[in-house]
Chains A and B, each alone.
Chain A
């Protein structure tokens, strides 16, 4: 792609979102999530790219990144059920929980979606269109013959470069890198949870309660329990 001098700062079709919700930070987070959620693919002509197999997977991955408190509670729940499954990744688990408790980041780093606080998934229509129009992402249904439609999202080589640039120049976004690495490490476990029910919140919490209340005290209490003594 030829380099062209930057031309226009904002697109009118996303302007209503930009003013109220900092559209650009949402786009930057999505880029990082795409990078870590995607599988590497590469071609000789275009260099390294990443491919996400479905929009649903991307939405789930993003949920765990946006909701560090949920991530900590789900990981504690999964560990309590099958500690052996975490034998070789205990340090990642401990770091993730501790990071979420440090400076109350499980609550302060929570990224609320526009609209009602009960939204679980972001639809990504605006940010994906934005990135597609800039040739950083290719977003299209696959034409594989299958009973269920799939939706391929490809972070192009230019997009991969931009992710690197964001991580190199924007120190605040290092948080998302660490969260994405943790989610990627445990995604097979996290995928098992039905986010409409959120069983990991039981017995003292419900999805409606945690939508607006602070999670740090609950994480601290659970993390302090005996069954996590060897973490």
Chain B
């Protein structure tokens, strides 16, 4: 198990050889300052037991297009084991399951918008471990209200008020928060943080976000339209939430610490990039200007000295002096504006370059996603040099056994999947949006700075003209050249003073950049080490999940499946017919079977090993109505029924299906059929 001391030592061991300015003490200070020592000591709460839904009641009115309304009440007692709803489309099975989810997660997104106004009251009685609760949600024209109460209660008991509320809510947002807090406490779930740029155009900052019970609830619900992704649709969430769900459900130790270190590493990377962009290009420009001004001052002083020997110095004239001082100050100010402009323009072009790189990377990822599978499927049939044929089957057998190329003996590499490329594209999109926001801000700064520079130039030009005529009028016989030289000397002194001040400021900024760079290196390395350690200490657990998923998916009819692997990045990889692929590379019908198998495996692993935080509760909604053929569906239904027989006392599965043949395989006493063409 990773300890703070081990993390410090290992980070220092990896970082110090390449960065002599980083000491082990600095590594310790950085990791302490970012609170990583606290995270590694932190322990998550213990789950209080599994979740069982004991009873569901829905009350409402069906509203017809002609304005009429038909009241309904649906009620069903449930408990441990398998409970099924079999009925054709439109009978209300999915609405019942999604209403249960609504009461348990606060999310009603699965209930069709047309049907939501029909539901007036939802009551779900459930238990977590030994404790009994009732969740009640009411919808009126004013919004959503309700609460979670201790004990199994009916509507009347709640309405009469003689009950003990655990939590109450008066709106949709309050409901989500209250339900999240309740279940996270009772199921022993903690939040995992991740970072992302805001989608808002004018907000270039990196923000931290947190997973909640609603995020993890994706592991207890398989929807009818979500087979393309194994756990969660990547377009619905950022930051590899599927990985976080998987780790939490499996109870991977120190997930919270690893995600916190990654968050700190992301912030350090962002801070370093910003500090570098701010300083880049400015220092060399200032040094060049100082050198040029010093050369000019030497020439001016030499000329003044020559002229001093020939004529008297300028007499004091307070008005003239004030104008000269004002003009010198304006010129110094212009110099500062010019520096600011140079720095802003350098920043502008750096951002434009970064946008271009991100756009190229996005197109490259898109192209790669389109052809990767096609090109990788090409089979080696001959030697690239002499073109003699190669026996593909022999080669395959050898490479499968040794996991190395039989020609060059290097390890066979894994391929990326289309899913990975999609994630890259989405990340590039976010990056581009953030960069464009920064670009707009810098463009505005440039316009402001240019405007101030123009105003200052106008004023100094006017003063210059006035000074020229004043000198001519006031100094009879005084040579204009001499006056100009003195004015120029004053200007140069003012500009040099300003530049030296800027240089000192920039040195301080350079220190900041160097510090940010050190923090970045330390935290990125610590994040890598923590991630590797988390994977290494849980490798056996991932292997167990993979082997259970392989067995179930093979039984469900996924063809040629040899192995399911969870790799060091927690991507789920399938070895099928000698190839290593991702879930979304499977054919659509196979995806359905594999997803159901994987989720059942995730749940059964808790039952078999006692590890993890899966609540032992799974909703499977209309699996593969169109995609799975009859034989495979029968195998799936039989296996789910077998899981009910073997583990019914330890898990609860709620299943809805539109396929009538399911009745032959599911237990008759637990299968509900619609009365008069609908469940309610």
Contacts and interface: CB of A to CB of B under 8 A. Distances in A.
B379 A169 contact: no
B413 A10 contact: yes
A111 B364 CA distance: 8
B16 interface: no
Interface stretch (B162-170, B434-442, B576-584): B576-584
Nearest to B361: A22
Nearest to B376: A9
A24 B579 CA distance: 16
B354 interface: no
Interface in A85-127: 104, 107-112
Nearest to A139: B384
Given A15-B413, A130-B384, A133-B384, A173 B367 contact: yes
Contacts of A133: 380-384, 390
B306 interface: no
A176 B380 CA distance: 26
Contacts of A25: 364, 367-368, 371-372
A172 B360 CA distance: 13
Given A4-B379, A133-B384, A172-B363, A15 B410 contact: yes
Interface in B387-445: 387, 390, 392-393, 395-396, 399, 404-405, 407-408, 410-415
Interface string A112-153: 100000000000000011101111101110000000000000
A16 to B, nearest CB: 9
B366 A172 contact: yes
A208 to B, nearest CB: 16
Given A10-B376, A214-B352, A108 B370 contact: no
A24 B364 CA distance: 10
Nearest to A28: B371
B378 A12 contact: no
A182 interface: no
Most A C-beta atoms less than 10 A away, residue of B364, B404, B581: B364
A48 interface: no
A86 to B, nearest CB: 29
Most A C-beta atoms less than 10 A away, residue of B381, B399, B578: B381
A8 interface: yes
A165 B374 contact: yes
A129 to B, nearest CB: 4
A46 interface: no
Most B C-beta atoms less than 10 A away, residue of A12, A110, A130: A12
A130 to B, nearest CB: 7
Given A4-B379, A25-B367, A12 B410 contact: yes
Nearest to A27: B375
B377 interface: yes
Contact of B356 (A107, A136, A166, A169): A107
B270 interface: no
A225 interface: no
Interface in A166-212: 166, 169-173, 212
B415 A10 contact: yes
B382 A7 contact: no
B359 interface: yes
Contacts of A108: 356, 359-360, 363
Interface residues of B, number: 48
Contacts of A130: 384
Contact of B412 (A8, A24, A128): A8
Given A11-B405, A132-B384, A170 B360 contact: no
B365 interface: yes
B365 to A, nearest CB: 7
B378 A134 contact: yes
A135 B581 CA distance: 24
B381 A7 contact: no
Most B C-beta atoms less than 10 A away, residue of A5, A111, A129: A5
A8 B381 contact: no
B413 A24 contact: no
Contacts of A4: 379, 381, 392-393
A13 B410 contact: yes
A28 B381 contact: no
A44 interface: no
A130 B370 CA distance: 19
Contacts of A138: 387
A214 B579 CA distance: 41
Contacts of A224: none
Contacts of A24: 368, 371-372, 374-376
A138 B671 CA distance: 63
Nearest to A13: B408
B656 to A, nearest CB: 36
Contacts of B580: 9
A54 B256 CA distance: 58
Given A132-B384, A133-B380, A12 B405 contact: yes
A18 interface: yes
Contacts of A171: 370
A112 B581 CA distance: 28
B125 to A, nearest CB: 51
Contacts of B411: 12, 15
Contacts of A27: 371, 375
Contacts of A18: 413, 415
A135 B378 CA distance: 9
A229 interface: no
Contacts of A107: 356
Contacts of B375: 24, 27-28
B47 to A, nearest CB: 39
A170 B370 contact: yes
A223 B141 CA distance: 62
A18 B411 CA distance: 14
B566 to A, nearest CB: 18
A110 B415 CA distance: 25
B382 A173 contact: no
Contacts of B413: 10, 12, 15, 18-19
A1 interface: yes
Contacts of B382: 132-133, 135
A166 B376 contact: no
Contact of A22 (B368, B404, B414, B579): B368
A6 B579 contact: yes
A29 B378 CA distance: 15
A6 to B, nearest CB: 4
B578 A8 contact: yes
A173 B371 contact: yes
Contacts of B385: 129
B579 to A, nearest CB: 5
Contacts of B412: 8, 10, 12, 15
A54 B352 CA distance: 38
Given A133-B390, A134-B381, A173-B370, 15 more contacts: A4-B392, A5-B577, A7-B379, A8-B395, A11-B405, A13-B405, A18-B413, A24-B375, A25-B367, A25-B368, A27-B371, A134-B378, A134-B379, A135-B382, A172-B367
9 contacts: A8-B379, A9-B415, A10-B376, A12-B412, A13-B405, A104-B359, A109-B360, A165-B374, A173-B367
Question: Which 9 A-B pairs have CB atoms at the shortest separation, nearest pair first?
Answer: A12-B410, A15-B413, A170-B370, A12-B405, A129-B384, A6-B377, A24-B375, A133-B384, A28-B371
